[in-house]
Amino acid sequence: MSRILLVGAGPLPFEKMRRFSAPGGRTWQLARPLLADGHELLLLALYSQGDDPAGREPVSPRPGLTCAPVGRGDLPRAGALLAEFGPDAVVATGMEQCRLAAALGGGLPFWADIYGDTMAEAQAKAAVYGDDHWVASFWGQLRPVLLRGDRFSAVSTRQRHALLGELASQGRPCAADAGRRLVHVMHSAVPGGRSPSGKHPLRGVRVGEDDFVVLWSGGYNTWADTDTLFRGLEHAMERNPSVRFVSTGGEIRDHDELTYPRFLDRVRRSAHRERFVMEGWVPRDEVNDYYFDADVGINADKYLYEGLLGCRTRLLDWASAGLPALTTVLCELSETLDRERLVATFPIGDHAALGEKILSLAADRKSLRAMGARARDYVLSRRTFEATTGPIRQWAAAPSAVDRRPGMDGLLHPRFGGSREELKAKLGELRSIKASGAYRLYKRLPGRESEGR
């Protein structure tokens, strides 16, 4: 068995914290099967600002697992914990986590789980903030990981292809990678089915027993089409007084702190504002009860490459509780569920179609519940932790590193060794190119006359 340093995200599913995130769920998706296989894990968890567990000391919540919160950019603490643990390999999930692992891991075998396409997320954030510097910033984080990783994983088949292109931009795949699968697909998954606790935070408390409850759970990220969401809900509310919207999420600290406040502002100015139940972040162990009190979960995507290449894990969370979903069809998971007729759908950006779909679902709740039950059976048979993590479990049994390789910088820019003879030889090559017939032909092309003078 291996000793594995896992760099992931918090909060973790078993922590009783108010905020939670898909990266935290992904971290546990990798950790739990590795623990079940008998590996020993040191989990360095990065938390959003203000969410770090009190004390910040390592804890061992179960045999074989030590969890240590690490501040963003706290390389000295992370390095000290790594040295004390003495791992055989490094695994990281999430962009910031992978960047930290690349800086820490030295020559250790390194599996980088690029959970969502980094450059597509950069575009989405740049669009929300109106600032393209995020594109360069995210690329600066991704590039060292592309050069350092020994194995990679993606959340969808499409992202695998995009990641192969990003690797190629840095001289990968190369000879050292030949004959091996460099990038694997590990779909998002759920730890198991959810069961009702018997508590009812909504029915008879915040909404009526017979109201039709449309639920949003989780963060309001850069990809969320809150304009279509809001207008579609108002369309339905104007025509059916039983429609209620309940939200159990909010802003995403350190990433998107604009989308949710903008949506809240529209809700406050709505003529139907009393029918919007905006709960903010609800502790994870309480959110489960909202799933069982709702009629349908809703997901509204903008058309962005982030969604096209990524995954909406909330669809899996709802299905694990038997809560049917109403969603745009963009990510690979939504396409699969739509093809299997396990979700209700509406076109991206079409608020009227969304409003009409809500009305039709409210009119046939029995069929809606039956769809949710089928989705639950599908997800619990095909999207489990064990069913989705085969590639990394196989690698962890005997982790291996590839020979280090130069990046594209070494391939694109000539390097002179410093000797007079080598420099003269390179200059001679350049003169030969300039004197060639091919170069003279190139110079005659339109627009080239003034070049090279």
Identical fold at 3-189+387-397 and 212-383?
yes
Average pLDDT over residues 96-105: 89
pLDDT at 441 over 80: no
pLDDT at 408 over 80: no
What band does 438 get if pLDDT is binned at 50, 70 and 90?
A: low
Average pLDDT over residues 366-383: 97
Percentage of the chain lying above the pLDDT 70 cut: 87
pLDDT at 412 over 80: no
CATH class of 3-189+387-397: alpha beta
Strand order from edge to edge, sheet including 89-93: 59-62, 65-70, 40-46, 3-9, 89-93, 110-113, 151-154, 183-185
Omega of the bond prior to 144 within 30 degrees of 0, cis?
no
Report d(CA 285, CA 13) in Å as an integer.
9
Domain boundaries, the chain: 3-189+387-397, 212-383, 414-453
Report d(CA 327, CA 212) in Å as an integer.
17
Range scoring the smallest mean pLDDT among 8-17, 218-227, 298-307:
8-17
Q: What is the mean pLDDT of the chain?
A: 89
Judged by DSSP in three states, 268 sits in: helix
Which of the listed CATH numbers 3.40.50.2000, 3.90.1150.10, 3.40.50.2300, 3.50.50.60 matches domain 212-383?
3.40.50.2000
pLDDT of residue 60: 81
pLDDT of residue 451: 46
Six token digits for residue 106? 């030295």
| Tens of pLDDT, residues 29-70 | 999 999 999 999 999 998 876 666 644 677 888 899 999 888
Answer yes or no: are the C-beta atoms of 9 and 46 closer than 8 Å: yes
Report d(CA 408, CA 190) in Å as an integer.
38
Six token digits for residue 130? 């109106």
Average pLDDT over residues 328-346: 98
Average pLDDT over residues 422-447: 65
Average pLDDT over residues 321-350: 98
| Tens of pLDDT, residues 253-272 | 888 999 999 999 999 999 99
pLDDT at 347 over 70: yes
pLDDT at 414 over 60: no
Answer yes or no: are the C-beta atoms of 327 and 373 closer than 8 Å: no
Which H/E stretch holds residue 104?
A: helix 95-104
pLDDT of residue 299: 98
| Tens of pLDDT, residues 165-215 | 999 999 888 787 788 899 999 999 999 999 999 999 999 999 999 999 999
pLDDT of residue 410: 40
Average pLDDT over residues 87-114: 92
